[in-house]
Chain A
Amino acid sequence: MPIAETLRTADIHVAPASVRLDAVGKSFGKAGQSVDVLTNISLEVAAGEVVVLLGPSGCGKSTLLRLIAGLETATVGSVTIDGHEVTGIDTRCGVVFQEPRLFPWKSIEDNVVVGARGARSSETVAALLAAVGLSGFEKHLPRQVSGGMAQRAALARGLAGFPGVLLLDEPFAALDALTRLTMQDLLLDVAQETGATVVLVTHDIDEALHLADRIVVLGERGQGIAEIVTVDHPRPRDRSHPGLAPLRDELLARFGIHP
Protein backbone atom coordinates (compact mmCIF):
# COMPACT_ATOMS: atom_id res chain seq x y z
CA MET A 1 0.00 0.00 0.00
CA PRO A 2 1.49 3.38 -0.95
CA ILE A 3 2.36 5.63 1.95
CA ALA A 4 -0.26 8.25 1.11
CA GLU A 5 -3.02 5.69 1.47
CA THR A 6 -1.67 4.38 4.76
CA LEU A 7 -1.58 7.87 6.14
CA ARG A 8 -5.12 8.50 4.93
CA THR A 9 -6.36 5.30 6.60
CA ALA A 10 -4.50 6.12 9.78
CA ASP A 11 -6.02 9.60 9.55
CA ILE A 12 -2.80 11.36 10.41
CA HIS A 13 -2.84 15.09 10.26
CA VAL A 14 -0.43 17.56 11.74
CA ALA A 15 -1.11 20.99 13.09
CA PRO A 16 -0.15 23.18 10.13
CA ALA A 17 2.54 25.61 11.17
CA SER A 18 4.03 28.65 9.50
CA VAL A 19 7.64 29.65 10.03
CA ARG A 20 8.77 33.24 10.24
CA LEU A 21 12.31 34.57 10.39
CA ASP A 22 12.63 38.23 11.31
CA ALA A 23 15.95 39.92 10.47
CA VAL A 24 17.77 36.90 11.87
CA GLY A 25 21.53 37.04 12.28
CA LYS A 26 23.89 34.44 13.69
CA SER A 27 27.54 34.83 14.61
CA PHE A 28 29.90 32.24 16.01
CA GLY A 29 32.91 32.84 18.18
CA LYS A 30 33.83 35.25 20.95
CA ALA A 31 32.99 38.92 20.77
CA GLY A 32 35.64 40.81 18.84
CA GLN A 33 36.68 37.93 16.63
CA SER A 34 33.29 36.50 15.79
CA VAL A 35 32.27 35.38 12.34
CA ASP A 36 28.89 36.46 10.98
CA VAL A 37 27.48 33.38 9.33
CA LEU A 38 23.96 34.63 8.73
CA THR A 39 22.96 38.28 8.48
CA ASN A 40 19.58 39.89 8.09
CA ILE A 41 17.60 36.85 7.02
CA SER A 42 13.90 37.54 6.76
CA LEU A 43 11.64 34.84 5.40
CA GLU A 44 8.08 33.70 5.78
CA VAL A 45 7.17 30.13 5.07
CA ALA A 46 3.44 29.51 4.91
CA ALA A 47 1.90 26.47 6.56
CA GLY A 48 2.17 23.53 4.21
CA GLU A 49 4.64 25.24 1.91
CA VAL A 50 7.78 23.53 0.64
CA VAL A 51 10.81 25.82 0.70
CA VAL A 52 14.19 24.67 -0.55
CA LEU A 53 17.42 26.33 0.55
CA LEU A 54 20.19 26.42 -2.02
CA GLY A 55 23.63 27.88 -1.60
CA PRO A 56 27.38 27.29 -1.63
CA SER A 57 28.73 25.10 1.12
CA GLY A 58 29.63 26.90 4.30
CA CYS A 59 27.10 29.67 3.67
CA GLY A 60 25.03 28.77 6.69
CA LYS A 61 22.27 26.51 5.39
CA SER A 62 22.60 23.99 8.20
CA THR A 63 22.84 26.82 10.70
CA LEU A 64 19.58 28.27 9.40
CA LEU A 65 17.79 24.95 9.89
CA ARG A 66 19.25 24.64 13.39
CA LEU A 67 17.94 28.09 14.23
CA ILE A 68 14.42 27.10 13.20
CA ALA A 69 14.64 23.88 15.23
CA GLY A 70 15.87 25.80 18.25
CA LEU A 71 19.18 23.94 18.29
CA GLU A 72 20.92 27.31 18.03
CA THR A 73 19.83 30.72 19.28
CA ALA A 74 19.84 33.66 16.92
CA THR A 75 22.35 36.37 17.75
CA VAL A 76 19.87 39.00 16.55
CA GLY A 77 16.31 38.83 15.27
CA SER A 78 13.67 36.27 16.06
CA VAL A 79 12.34 32.96 14.82
CA THR A 80 8.67 32.20 15.27
CA ILE A 81 6.69 29.10 14.48
CA ASP A 82 2.97 29.62 14.22
CA GLY A 83 3.28 32.95 15.98
CA HIS A 84 5.16 31.55 18.98
CA GLU A 85 8.81 32.44 19.36
CA VAL A 86 11.27 29.57 19.27
CA THR A 87 13.29 29.66 22.48
CA GLY A 88 14.69 26.18 23.10
CA ILE A 89 14.66 22.95 21.20
CA ASP A 90 11.29 22.95 19.51
CA THR A 91 9.43 19.69 19.28
CA ARG A 92 7.03 21.06 16.69
CA CYS A 93 9.95 20.50 14.34
CA GLY A 94 11.23 17.23 13.02
CA VAL A 95 14.81 17.23 11.80
CA VAL A 96 16.59 14.97 9.38
CA PHE A 97 20.24 15.80 9.93
CA GLN A 98 22.99 15.89 7.36
CA GLU A 99 24.33 12.68 8.95
CA PRO A 100 22.00 9.78 9.83
CA ARG A 101 22.53 10.12 13.59
CA LEU A 102 20.95 6.75 14.32
CA PHE A 103 21.40 5.26 17.76
CA PRO A 104 24.03 2.59 17.14
CA TRP A 105 22.69 0.11 19.70
CA LYS A 106 19.10 0.26 18.47
CA SER A 107 17.74 -1.60 15.47
CA ILE A 108 16.64 0.33 12.38
CA GLU A 109 13.04 -0.23 13.39
CA ASP A 110 13.58 0.94 16.97
CA ASN A 111 15.29 4.04 15.69
CA VAL A 112 12.20 4.88 13.66
CA VAL A 113 10.02 4.15 16.70
CA VAL A 114 12.07 6.70 18.65
CA GLY A 115 11.28 9.26 15.96
CA ALA A 116 7.62 8.33 16.20
CA ARG A 117 7.75 9.67 19.75
CA GLY A 118 5.75 6.78 21.12
CA ALA A 119 2.45 8.05 19.75
CA ARG A 120 2.18 6.27 16.41
CA SER A 121 1.03 2.78 15.61
CA SER A 122 3.35 0.04 14.51
CA GLU A 123 1.56 -0.03 11.15
CA THR A 124 2.70 3.51 10.38
CA VAL A 125 6.26 2.63 11.33
CA ALA A 126 6.14 -0.47 9.13
CA ALA A 127 4.62 1.55 6.26
CA LEU A 128 7.36 4.16 6.54
CA LEU A 129 10.07 1.51 6.59
CA ALA A 130 8.53 -0.05 3.51
CA ALA A 131 8.28 3.34 1.83
CA VAL A 132 11.99 4.01 2.29
CA GLY A 133 12.74 0.51 1.03
CA LEU A 134 13.93 -0.97 4.28
CA SER A 135 11.44 -3.80 4.80
CA GLY A 136 13.44 -6.83 5.77
CA PHE A 137 16.07 -4.72 7.51
CA GLU A 138 13.97 -3.82 10.55
CA LYS A 139 16.10 -5.82 12.96
CA HIS A 140 19.47 -4.78 11.55
CA LEU A 141 21.72 -2.49 13.51
CA PRO A 142 22.79 0.77 11.84
CA ARG A 143 26.35 -0.48 11.34
CA GLN A 144 25.01 -3.49 9.46
CA VAL A 145 23.44 -1.44 6.69
CA SER A 146 24.97 0.79 4.02
CA GLY A 147 25.33 4.55 4.31
CA GLY A 148 22.45 5.16 1.94
CA MET A 149 20.21 2.80 3.90
CA ALA A 150 21.13 4.52 7.14
CA GLN A 151 20.21 7.82 5.59
CA ARG A 152 16.86 6.45 4.48
CA ALA A 153 16.28 5.12 7.98
CA ALA A 154 17.02 8.60 9.28
CA LEU A 155 14.46 9.98 6.83
CA ALA A 156 11.87 7.51 8.08
CA ARG A 157 12.67 8.50 11.64
CA GLY A 158 12.27 12.19 10.81
CA LEU A 159 8.94 11.58 9.08
CA ALA A 160 7.60 9.19 11.73
CA GLY A 161 6.87 11.91 14.26
CA PHE A 162 4.69 13.75 11.73
CA PRO A 163 5.89 17.12 12.93
CA GLY A 164 4.28 20.37 11.86
CA VAL A 165 7.56 21.58 10.45
CA LEU A 166 9.92 19.19 8.69
CA LEU A 167 13.51 20.36 8.46
CA LEU A 168 15.76 18.31 6.20
CA ASP A 169 19.47 18.94 5.75
CA GLU A 170 20.69 17.43 2.48
CA PRO A 171 18.65 14.31 3.27
CA PHE A 172 19.25 12.59 -0.06
CA ALA A 173 22.89 13.49 -0.60
CA ALA A 174 24.20 9.99 0.13
CA LEU A 175 21.68 8.19 -2.09
CA ASP A 176 22.14 6.87 -5.58
CA ALA A 177 20.39 8.84 -8.32
CA LEU A 178 17.44 6.50 -8.70
CA THR A 179 16.68 6.07 -5.01
CA ARG A 180 16.96 9.80 -4.64
CA LEU A 181 14.07 10.35 -7.03
CA THR A 182 11.89 7.84 -5.16
CA MET A 183 12.67 9.47 -1.82
CA GLN A 184 11.85 12.92 -3.16
CA ASP A 185 8.42 11.73 -4.18
CA LEU A 186 7.95 10.03 -0.81
CA LEU A 187 8.70 13.28 0.95
CA LEU A 188 6.21 15.16 -1.23
CA ASP A 189 3.56 12.49 -0.60
CA VAL A 190 3.98 12.71 3.15
CA ALA A 191 4.08 16.50 3.17
CA GLN A 192 0.99 16.76 1.02
CA GLU A 193 -0.97 14.13 2.89
CA THR A 194 -0.20 15.53 6.35
CA GLY A 195 0.01 19.21 5.51
CA ALA A 196 3.46 19.60 7.03
CA THR A 197 5.60 22.62 6.27
CA VAL A 198 8.91 21.63 4.72
CA VAL A 199 12.25 23.43 4.72
CA LEU A 200 14.89 21.41 2.87
CA VAL A 201 18.54 22.06 2.13
CA THR A 202 20.11 20.69 -1.02
CA HIS A 203 22.97 21.17 -3.47
CA ASP A 204 21.02 19.68 -6.31
CA ILE A 205 19.25 22.19 -8.54
CA ASP A 206 17.01 19.58 -10.15
CA GLU A 207 15.97 18.37 -6.73
CA ALA A 208 15.11 21.94 -5.77
CA LEU A 209 13.05 22.41 -8.92
CA HIS A 210 11.15 19.19 -8.35
CA LEU A 211 10.32 19.80 -4.71
CA ALA A 212 10.03 23.49 -4.08
CA ASP A 213 7.19 25.94 -4.02
CA ARG A 214 9.91 28.51 -3.54
CA ILE A 215 13.69 28.25 -3.77
CA VAL A 216 15.68 30.47 -1.46
CA VAL A 217 19.17 31.07 -2.76
CA LEU A 218 21.67 32.09 -0.10
CA GLY A 219 24.75 34.14 -0.98
CA GLU A 220 28.26 33.51 0.30
CA ARG A 221 28.69 33.27 4.06
CA GLY A 222 27.31 36.34 5.80
CA GLN A 223 25.71 37.84 2.70
CA GLY A 224 22.10 36.92 3.42
CA ILE A 225 19.47 35.84 0.93
CA ALA A 226 20.57 36.40 -2.66
CA GLU A 227 17.34 35.57 -4.40
CA ILE A 228 13.99 33.89 -3.98
CA VAL A 229 12.67 31.96 -6.95
CA THR A 230 9.05 30.90 -7.09
CA VAL A 231 8.46 27.59 -8.86
CA ASP A 232 4.92 27.89 -10.11
CA HIS A 233 4.37 24.46 -11.58
CA PRO A 234 1.50 22.15 -10.72
CA ARG A 235 2.23 18.83 -9.01
CA PRO A 236 2.95 16.06 -9.71
CA ARG A 237 5.76 17.59 -11.68
CA ASP A 238 7.35 16.10 -14.71
CA ARG A 239 11.08 16.37 -14.15
CA SER A 240 11.76 16.93 -17.82
CA HIS A 241 9.01 19.45 -18.35
CA PRO A 242 10.33 22.10 -20.74
CA GLY A 243 8.71 24.82 -18.65
CA LEU A 244 11.27 24.19 -15.90
CA ALA A 245 14.22 24.72 -18.21
CA PRO A 246 14.39 28.54 -18.03
CA LEU A 247 14.37 28.35 -14.19
CA ARG A 248 17.11 25.75 -14.24
CA ASP A 249 19.25 27.90 -16.52
CA GLU A 250 18.66 30.92 -14.33
CA LEU A 251 19.75 29.03 -11.22
CA LEU A 252 22.76 27.50 -12.91
CA ALA A 253 23.81 30.95 -14.04
CA ARG A 254 23.59 32.16 -10.44
CA PHE A 255 26.16 29.56 -9.51
CA GLY A 256 28.40 30.58 -12.37
CA ILE A 257 27.53 27.83 -14.82
CA HIS A 258 26.37 28.97 -18.22
CA PRO A 259 24.59 26.37 -20.28
Chain B
Amino acid sequence: MKKVIQRVRDFKLGTTLMLVLLVGIWSIPTIGLLVTAFRTKDSAASSGWWEAIFAPLEQEWSLAAFETVLTRDDMFGSFVNTLVVAVPATVLPIMIAAFAAYAFTFIEFRGREIYFAVVVALMVVPLQAALVPVVRGLRAIKEATGISLIGSFPGAWLMHAAFALPLAIYILRNYMMTLPMALIEAARIDGASWYQIFWKLVMPMSVPALASFAIFQFLWVWNDYLIAFIFVDSKPVMTYRLLRLLGQYGDGWQDVAAGSFISLIVPLVVFFALQRFFVRGLTAGSVK
Protein backbone atom coordinates (compact mmCIF):
# COMPACT_ATOMS: atom_id res chain seq x y z
CA MET B 1 0.00 0.00 0.00
CA LYS B 2 2.79 2.34 0.97
CA LYS B 3 4.49 1.57 -2.30
CA VAL B 4 1.39 2.50 -4.26
CA ILE B 5 1.09 5.82 -2.46
CA GLN B 6 4.75 6.49 -3.12
CA ARG B 7 4.22 5.70 -6.80
CA VAL B 8 1.30 8.07 -7.02
CA ARG B 9 3.30 10.76 -5.29
CA ASP B 10 6.24 10.24 -7.65
CA PHE B 11 4.01 10.39 -10.72
CA LYS B 12 5.01 13.22 -12.99
CA LEU B 13 2.57 13.93 -15.78
CA GLY B 14 4.93 15.70 -18.17
CA THR B 15 7.64 13.06 -17.90
CA THR B 16 5.19 10.23 -18.32
CA LEU B 17 3.54 11.76 -21.39
CA MET B 18 6.92 12.38 -22.95
CA LEU B 19 8.01 8.79 -22.32
CA VAL B 20 4.80 7.37 -23.76
CA LEU B 21 5.24 9.56 -26.83
CA LEU B 22 8.85 8.47 -27.34
CA VAL B 23 8.06 4.80 -26.84
CA GLY B 24 5.21 5.19 -29.33
CA ILE B 25 7.38 6.79 -32.00
CA TRP B 26 10.12 4.21 -31.56
CA SER B 27 7.69 1.30 -31.66
CA ILE B 28 5.87 2.29 -34.85
CA PRO B 29 8.33 0.72 -37.33
CA THR B 30 8.47 -2.50 -35.31
CA ILE B 31 4.70 -2.76 -35.13
CA GLY B 32 4.55 -2.07 -38.84
CA LEU B 33 6.97 -4.91 -39.51
CA LEU B 34 5.07 -7.30 -37.30
CA VAL B 35 1.73 -6.56 -38.97
CA THR B 36 3.14 -6.70 -42.47
CA ALA B 37 4.86 -10.02 -41.84
CA PHE B 38 1.48 -11.68 -41.33
CA ARG B 39 -0.19 -10.28 -44.45
CA THR B 40 -0.46 -11.76 -47.88
CA LYS B 41 1.37 -10.34 -50.85
CA ASP B 42 -1.75 -8.82 -52.33
CA SER B 43 -3.07 -7.10 -49.26
CA ALA B 44 0.41 -5.85 -48.33
CA ALA B 45 0.65 -4.28 -51.75
CA SER B 46 -2.84 -2.80 -51.84
CA SER B 47 -3.15 -1.13 -48.45
CA GLY B 48 -1.01 0.21 -45.66
CA TRP B 49 -0.38 -1.85 -42.53
CA TRP B 50 -2.04 0.81 -40.35
CA GLU B 51 -5.23 0.29 -42.31
CA ALA B 52 -4.93 -3.40 -41.55
CA ILE B 53 -4.77 -2.65 -37.83
CA PHE B 54 -7.98 -0.64 -37.92
CA ALA B 55 -9.86 -3.16 -40.02
CA PRO B 56 -8.41 -6.50 -39.01
CA LEU B 57 -11.44 -8.56 -40.01
CA GLU B 58 -11.51 -7.34 -43.59
CA GLN B 59 -7.97 -8.57 -44.09
CA GLU B 60 -6.45 -11.77 -45.26
CA TRP B 61 -3.87 -12.94 -42.72
CA SER B 62 -1.31 -15.62 -43.44
CA LEU B 63 1.94 -17.25 -42.40
CA ALA B 64 3.04 -17.56 -46.01
CA ALA B 65 5.77 -14.94 -45.71
CA PHE B 66 7.43 -16.84 -42.88
CA GLU B 67 7.17 -20.04 -44.83
CA THR B 68 8.73 -18.41 -47.88
CA VAL B 69 11.75 -16.91 -46.12
CA LEU B 70 12.38 -20.07 -44.15
CA THR B 71 12.24 -22.41 -47.14
CA ARG B 72 13.09 -20.44 -50.27
CA ASP B 73 15.60 -18.09 -48.62
CA ASP B 74 16.90 -20.52 -45.98
CA MET B 75 16.52 -17.92 -43.26
CA PHE B 76 17.06 -20.60 -40.66
CA GLY B 77 20.46 -21.48 -42.11
CA SER B 78 21.37 -17.81 -41.97
CA PHE B 79 20.12 -17.63 -38.42
CA VAL B 80 22.59 -20.38 -37.52
CA ASN B 81 25.38 -18.64 -39.43
CA THR B 82 24.74 -15.39 -37.59
CA LEU B 83 24.80 -17.24 -34.30
CA VAL B 84 28.09 -18.92 -35.21
CA VAL B 85 29.60 -15.53 -35.95
CA ALA B 86 28.12 -13.67 -33.00
CA VAL B 87 28.79 -15.96 -30.04
CA PRO B 88 32.57 -16.34 -30.41
CA ALA B 89 32.84 -12.72 -31.56
CA THR B 90 31.34 -11.78 -28.20
CA VAL B 91 33.11 -14.23 -25.90
CA LEU B 92 36.56 -13.77 -27.42
CA PRO B 93 36.99 -10.01 -26.92
CA ILE B 94 35.45 -10.14 -23.44
CA MET B 95 37.88 -12.81 -22.30
CA ILE B 96 40.89 -10.97 -23.67
CA ALA B 97 39.67 -7.60 -22.42
CA ALA B 98 39.02 -8.95 -18.93
CA PHE B 99 42.58 -10.22 -18.66
CA ALA B 100 43.96 -6.96 -20.03
CA ALA B 101 41.80 -4.74 -17.82
CA TYR B 102 42.83 -6.81 -14.80
CA ALA B 103 46.50 -6.27 -15.53
CA PHE B 104 45.97 -2.58 -16.23
CA THR B 105 44.14 -2.18 -12.94
CA PHE B 106 45.93 -4.34 -10.41
CA ILE B 107 49.38 -5.32 -11.65
CA GLU B 108 52.14 -2.79 -11.71
CA PHE B 109 54.44 -3.03 -14.67
CA ARG B 110 56.61 -0.62 -16.59
CA GLY B 111 54.87 1.54 -19.15
CA ARG B 112 51.40 0.69 -17.88
CA GLU B 113 49.99 4.19 -18.38
CA ILE B 114 51.47 4.50 -21.85
CA TYR B 115 50.10 1.16 -23.02
CA PHE B 116 46.72 2.07 -21.66
CA ALA B 117 46.75 5.45 -23.37
CA VAL B 118 47.58 3.72 -26.66
CA VAL B 119 44.73 1.27 -26.23
CA VAL B 120 42.28 4.08 -25.49
CA ALA B 121 43.55 6.09 -28.44
CA LEU B 122 42.84 3.12 -30.72
CA MET B 123 39.14 3.56 -30.02
CA VAL B 124 39.04 6.40 -32.53
CA VAL B 125 40.12 4.20 -35.46
CA PRO B 126 36.96 3.38 -37.39
CA LEU B 127 36.52 -0.12 -38.67
CA GLN B 128 35.77 1.08 -42.18
CA ALA B 129 39.06 2.96 -42.40
CA ALA B 130 41.11 0.01 -41.27
CA LEU B 131 39.36 -2.57 -43.37
CA VAL B 132 41.33 -2.32 -46.58
CA PRO B 133 44.79 -2.43 -44.98
CA VAL B 134 43.69 -5.34 -42.78
CA VAL B 135 42.37 -7.33 -45.72
CA ARG B 136 45.59 -6.67 -47.62
CA GLY B 137 47.56 -7.84 -44.61
CA LEU B 138 45.51 -11.01 -44.38
CA ARG B 139 46.10 -11.65 -48.10
CA ALA B 140 49.83 -11.29 -47.54
CA ILE B 141 49.62 -13.76 -44.68
CA LYS B 142 47.78 -16.18 -46.90
CA GLU B 143 50.41 -15.93 -49.60
CA ALA B 144 53.22 -16.39 -47.10
CA THR B 145 51.78 -19.18 -44.99
CA GLY B 146 48.80 -20.59 -46.80
CA ILE B 147 46.53 -19.79 -43.85
CA SER B 148 43.46 -18.00 -45.10
CA LEU B 149 41.41 -15.96 -42.69
CA ILE B 150 39.32 -14.32 -45.36
CA GLY B 151 36.18 -16.26 -46.15
CA SER B 152 36.21 -18.04 -42.81
CA PHE B 153 34.43 -17.79 -39.50
CA PRO B 154 37.67 -17.36 -37.49
CA GLY B 155 38.50 -14.36 -39.65
CA ALA B 156 35.20 -12.70 -38.73
CA TRP B 157 35.68 -13.55 -35.06
CA LEU B 158 39.12 -12.00 -35.03
CA MET B 159 37.98 -8.85 -36.81
CA HIS B 160 35.09 -8.29 -34.45
CA ALA B 161 37.23 -9.10 -31.43
CA ALA B 162 40.05 -6.80 -32.45
CA PHE B 163 37.83 -3.82 -33.05
CA ALA B 164 35.86 -4.39 -29.85
CA LEU B 165 38.91 -4.65 -27.62
CA PRO B 166 39.79 -0.98 -26.99
CA LEU B 167 36.33 -0.05 -25.76
CA ALA B 168 35.99 -3.31 -23.84
CA ILE B 169 39.31 -2.84 -22.06
CA TYR B 170 38.44 0.76 -21.28
CA ILE B 171 35.02 -0.01 -19.80
CA LEU B 172 36.23 -3.02 -17.83
CA ARG B 173 39.24 -1.22 -16.42
CA ASN B 174 37.12 1.70 -15.29
CA TYR B 175 34.82 -0.74 -13.60
CA MET B 176 37.60 -2.74 -11.96
CA MET B 177 39.09 0.46 -10.54
CA THR B 178 35.97 0.71 -8.38
CA LEU B 179 36.32 -2.81 -6.95
CA PRO B 180 37.33 -2.94 -3.27
CA MET B 181 41.10 -3.16 -3.15
CA ALA B 182 40.80 -4.21 0.51
CA LEU B 183 39.30 -7.57 -0.45
CA ILE B 184 41.99 -8.23 -3.00
CA GLU B 185 44.64 -7.45 -0.40
CA ALA B 186 42.99 -9.80 2.05
CA ALA B 187 42.96 -12.57 -0.55
CA ARG B 188 46.62 -11.99 -1.37
CA ILE B 189 47.49 -12.29 2.31
CA ASP B 190 45.58 -15.54 2.44
CA GLY B 191 47.89 -16.82 -0.25
CA ALA B 192 45.75 -16.43 -3.37
CA SER B 193 47.70 -16.17 -6.61
CA TRP B 194 47.00 -13.46 -9.19
CA TYR B 195 45.34 -16.12 -11.26
CA GLN B 196 43.01 -17.18 -8.44
CA ILE B 197 42.19 -13.57 -7.60
CA PHE B 198 41.18 -13.02 -11.20
CA TRP B 199 38.83 -15.99 -11.37
CA LYS B 200 37.49 -16.05 -7.83
CA LEU B 201 37.26 -12.36 -7.01
CA VAL B 202 37.56 -9.98 -9.90
CA MET B 203 35.46 -11.89 -12.44
CA PRO B 204 32.49 -12.51 -10.10
CA MET B 205 32.55 -8.91 -8.92
CA SER B 206 32.72 -7.62 -12.50
CA VAL B 207 29.61 -9.42 -13.70
CA PRO B 208 27.58 -6.23 -14.28
CA ALA B 209 30.25 -4.68 -16.49
CA LEU B 210 30.96 -7.96 -18.28
CA ALA B 211 27.29 -8.57 -18.93
CA SER B 212 26.57 -5.09 -20.21
CA PHE B 213 29.50 -5.18 -22.56
CA ALA B 214 28.50 -8.66 -23.71
CA ILE B 215 25.03 -7.43 -24.66
CA PHE B 216 26.44 -4.41 -26.40
CA GLN B 217 28.94 -6.45 -28.42
CA PHE B 218 26.49 -9.25 -29.19
CA LEU B 219 23.88 -6.89 -30.58
CA TRP B 220 26.50 -5.06 -32.59
CA VAL B 221 27.81 -8.25 -34.18
CA TRP B 222 24.30 -9.60 -34.69
CA ASN B 223 23.39 -6.52 -36.74
CA ASP B 224 26.72 -6.26 -38.52
CA TYR B 225 26.72 -6.50 -42.29
CA LEU B 226 30.13 -5.28 -43.43
CA ILE B 227 32.44 -7.78 -41.75
CA ALA B 228 30.12 -10.69 -42.36
CA PHE B 229 29.86 -9.73 -46.00
CA ILE B 230 33.62 -9.58 -46.43
CA PHE B 231 34.64 -12.54 -44.31
CA VAL B 232 31.86 -15.11 -44.54
CA ASP B 233 30.11 -14.41 -47.83
CA SER B 234 29.90 -18.15 -48.56
CA LYS B 235 27.87 -18.65 -45.38
CA PRO B 236 25.38 -15.79 -45.65
CA VAL B 237 24.30 -14.25 -42.37
CA MET B 238 20.86 -12.76 -41.81
CA THR B 239 21.72 -9.15 -42.57
CA TYR B 240 23.08 -10.31 -45.91
CA ARG B 241 19.90 -12.26 -46.63
CA LEU B 242 17.69 -9.33 -45.68
CA LEU B 243 19.52 -7.03 -48.00
CA ARG B 244 18.96 -9.46 -50.82
CA LEU B 245 15.25 -9.69 -49.92
CA LEU B 246 15.07 -5.92 -50.13
CA GLY B 247 16.25 -6.20 -53.71
CA GLN B 248 13.27 -8.39 -54.55
CA TYR B 249 10.44 -5.90 -54.16
CA GLY B 250 8.50 -7.83 -56.74
CA ASP B 251 7.95 -10.55 -54.15
CA GLY B 252 6.39 -8.07 -51.77
CA TRP B 253 7.16 -6.36 -48.49
CA GLN B 254 5.80 -9.13 -46.36
CA ASP B 255 8.87 -11.34 -46.97
CA VAL B 256 11.28 -8.65 -45.81
CA ALA B 257 9.11 -8.04 -42.77
CA ALA B 258 8.99 -11.72 -41.85
CA GLY B 259 12.75 -12.08 -42.32
CA SER B 260 13.40 -9.01 -40.19
CA PHE B 261 11.21 -10.38 -37.50
CA ILE B 262 13.09 -13.63 -37.37
CA SER B 263 16.35 -11.72 -37.02
CA LEU B 264 14.82 -9.61 -34.24
CA ILE B 265 13.94 -12.51 -31.98
CA VAL B 266 17.37 -13.10 -30.48
CA PRO B 267 18.21 -9.45 -29.77
CA LEU B 268 14.85 -9.06 -28.07
CA VAL B 269 15.38 -12.13 -25.91
CA VAL B 270 18.93 -11.08 -25.03
CA PHE B 271 17.88 -7.57 -24.18
CA PHE B 272 14.92 -8.46 -21.99
CA ALA B 273 16.81 -11.23 -20.23
CA LEU B 274 19.78 -9.04 -19.39
CA GLN B 275 18.47 -5.50 -19.40
CA ARG B 276 18.97 -4.99 -15.68
CA PHE B 277 22.70 -5.38 -16.30
CA PHE B 278 22.48 -3.09 -19.26
CA VAL B 279 21.21 -0.15 -17.29
CA ARG B 280 23.47 -0.66 -14.31
CA GLY B 281 26.61 -1.87 -16.02
CA LEU B 282 27.29 0.79 -18.60
CA THR B 283 26.95 3.60 -16.12
CA ALA B 284 28.82 1.79 -13.34
CA GLY B 285 32.48 2.59 -13.55
CA SER B 286 31.92 5.51 -15.85
CA VAL B 287 30.78 7.93 -13.18
CA LYS B 288 32.94 8.65 -10.18
- Interface residues, chain B, CB within 8 Å of chain A? 182-183, 185-192, 201, 204
Contact = CB atoms under 8 A, between A and B. Distances in A.
B182 A161 contact: no
Nearest to A101: B186
A161 B185 contact: no
Given A91-B191, A95-B189, A114-B190, 20 more contacts: A71-B185, A89-B185, A89-B189, A91-B189, A94-B189, A99-B182, A101-B182, A101-B183, A101-B185, A101-B186, A103-B183, A103-B187, A103-B201, A105-B204, A114-B192, A115-B190, A117-B191, A157-B190, A161-B190, A161-B191
23 contacts: A69-B189, A71-B185, A71-B189, A89-B185, A89-B188, A89-B189, A91-B189, A91-B191, A93-B189, A95-B186, A97-B182, A101-B182, A101-B183, A101-B185, A101-B186, A103-B183, A105-B204, A114-B187, A114-B190, A114-B192, A117-B190, A117-B191, A157-B190
A93 B191 CA distance: 10
A89 B185 CA distance: 9
Interface in A89-114: 89, 91, 93-95, 97, 99, 101, 103, 105, 114
Nearest to A105: B204
Nearest to A157: B190
A94 B187 CA distance: 11
B77 to A, nearest CB: 42
Contacts of B186: 95, 97, 101
Interface string A142-169: 0000000000000001000100000000
Contacts of B201: 103
A14 B230 CA distance: 64
A131 B192 CA distance: 25
Nearest to B180: A101
A38 B191 CA distance: 27
Contacts of B187: 103, 114
Nearest to B201: A103
B201 to A, nearest CB: 7
A100 to B, nearest CB: 9
Interface string A62-87: 00000001010000000000000000
Contacts of B185: 71, 89, 97, 101
Contacts of A69: 189
B189 to A, nearest CB: 5
Contacts of B191: 91, 117, 161
A115 B192 CA distance: 10
Contacts of A114: 187, 190, 192
A226 to B, nearest CB: 29
Nearest to A89: B188
A199 to B, nearest CB: 14
A94 B190 CA distance: 7
B188 to A, nearest CB: 5
A71 B184 CA distance: 11
Nearest to B192: A114
| Closest CB pairs A-B (n = 5) | A101-B186, A117-B191, A89-B188, A91-B191, A95-B189
A160 to B, nearest CB: 9
Contacts of A91: 189, 191
A117 B182 CA distance: 18
Contacts of A89: 185, 188-189
Contacts of B192: 114
Contacts of A117: 190-191
A124 to B, nearest CB: 15
A83 to B, nearest CB: 21
A12 to B, nearest CB: 17
A95 B190 CA distance: 8
A117 B192 CA distance: 8
Interface string A111-130: 00011010000000000000
A165 to B, nearest CB: 11
A257 B192 CA distance: 45
A235 B113 CA distance: 55
B236 to A, nearest CB: 44
Nearest to A100: B186
Nearest to B184: A101
Contacts of B188: 89
B113 to A, nearest CB: 15
Interface in A167-189: none
Contacts of B204: 105
Nearest to A95: B189
A108 to B, nearest CB: 15
A166 to B, nearest CB: 11
B174 to A, nearest CB: 21
B208 to A, nearest CB: 14
A117 B189 CA distance: 10
Contacts of A71: 185, 189
